[in-house]
Chain A
Amino acid sequence: MASTDTAPPRRRSRLVHNLKRLGATVLALAATFLGLMLITFVIGRVVPIDPVLAVVGERATTAQYEAAREALGLDRPMWEQFVIYVRDALTGDLGTSIRTRTPVAEDIARYFPATLELATIATIFGVLLGIPAGVLAATRPGTWIDQLVRLIGLMGYSMPVFWLGLMGLLLFYGILGWVGGPGRLDAGFEMMFEFDVPRVTGMILIDTALAGKWDIFRNALSHIILPAGVLGYYSMAYISRMTRSFMMNELSQEYITTARVKGMPEWRVIWVHALKNVMVPLITVIALSYANLLEGSVLTETVFAWPGLGLYITTALFSADMPAVLGGTVVVGIVFVALNMFSDILYRLVDPRAR
């Protein structure tokens, strides 16, 4: 960067400092990634399923068995196997699924958009409802609004997500008929989506909107609203609780008193001045809740027959398809770590005090 050469020395030292921090972050990321790989590697090796047998079948001759064993690289020393495992993963090769006979990375690329779509809409729900709820509770501590927000949060921490999903299905689909049932689309629309809509992102709502197929879009919306609402509830519980505590802290600061003394309208003090500063730590919270939704999706996707990454992992688990299970685990782990790092970096960019 040429501009930094002419920058005053103080700025340059800050740049060096930032670069150092970035280096440390990258190093930590690499270490975490290696650890992640090591854990899944160990799990994959101690599992009581013979990966060779799974490939060649029960009736293979000893020669065939040995050949397959060599092809899988299982005859090499452990450390070498691990190096190959990491190298393959870095180039996007997560092995081949035993169940579907396709590369795990390809499978995941097909299943992941469904999870991403679900988690994104859920996070939008959580943010849009959670932040106002937290702010309202913080500005009226001890009132019924505060108690209500607290109760909603506590319930979110105490309800099993799969049960809430089932209850939602029972009420909104079974009894009221307001939403679509399990799956991403009705069976009829499934075929239409398969043949008429080009895959761009793999997310139904975006792809159908791009193709202008609004009837499929509406159907997809009626299917996603319930699972996203269920997951969004958990996200809201977490976000509103954190917003409340950040906001309480912020409202006791002196600049708020100054703003009030100046005669600034109360809504402006809260929703503009205080909220701006609350948003900084909230970014981390939102990123964390987004990452947690990926985890919550394992159970939610089972309940709603949602063909996402969580369902992929559990289905693979039941057919003893270890490459798929471990590949899925690695991907979720990486996304998890990446989101944490991302929020950390964003935090530093937004908050001048953290630089």
Chain B
Amino acid sequence: MNDTEAKKRRWYLVGAIAVASSALGIIAFGNIGENLVYFWDPSQVVAAGDKSIGATIRLGGVVETGTVDWNPDANELEFIVTDGSETVEVHCSGAPPQMFREGIGVVVEGTMTKSGIFKSDRLMVKHSNEYKAPSEGESVEELYKTVEKL
């Protein structure tokens, strides 16, 4: 094999790798766009309106007192999440975790449905290293920091 042929081959190889990597880049970015999870509070969900339907959302807020309804036979947990100004009704499949109670900070992962109810199959309870009730109006960012398994 002579030198020019080797050089030509090398350029083919470089070209092929360039094409392959741009294809990979396009696929990867496209795929990421479809699989984003948004971190929102009830006000953002309400403000987004119909745009929030179908997207995967991690909704953070406080469980409103007097709204928890658990049906052990259907394995359905219903409650309302609030951030102080707006509220969202949440339907969760599954039992409430041991530390779940009214007034506690939670993050639920799921989607908004057309009926205006947030459907979730993943409920995470906020925890902190000290014993204290979550304070009123605690920011959602603070909440994410201390939530289980995040």
Instruction: Indicate, yes or no, whether A interacts with B.
Output: no
Query: Which residues of chain A have a CB within 8 Å of any CB of chain B?
Result: none
Query: Which residues of B line the A interface, CB within 8 A?
Result: none
